[in-house]
Amino acid sequence: MLVVVDVQAGFINEHSRGVVPFVVRLVKAWVALGQPLVLTRFFNPPDSPYEQITGWTGLRSPEEQHIVDELDPFAKAAAAVIDKPGSSAFTQEFSALVRKANWTDIVLAGIDTDACVYDTALAAYHSGVRPWIVTDACASTGGPEYHEAALLLAGRNINRRNLLTTESLLSGKGGPLEGGAA
Task: Tell me the C-alpha distance between 12 and 15, whole Å.
Answer: 8
pLDDT digits (tens, 9 = 90+) for 21-31: 999 999 999 99
Q: What is each CA distance from 155 to 32, 50, 121, 142, 176, in whole angstroms?
A: 29, 26, 11, 20, 17
Domains in the chain (CATH in brackets) are: 2-174 (3.40.50.850)
- In 3D space, the residue among 178, 83, 82 whose CA is nearest the CA of residue 130 turns out to be 178
Q: Give pLDDT, residue 104.
A: 95
Q: What is the pTM of this model?
A: 0.94
> Per-residue pLDDT for 108 more than 60?
yes
Q: Give pLDDT, residue 178.
A: 74
Q: Give pLDDT, residue 172.
A: 86
The continuous run of DSSP H or E covering 176 comes out as none
Q: Are 112 and 141 in contact (CB under 8 A)?
A: yes
Q: Give pLDDT, residue 179.
A: 58
Q: Give pLDDT, residue 14.
A: 98
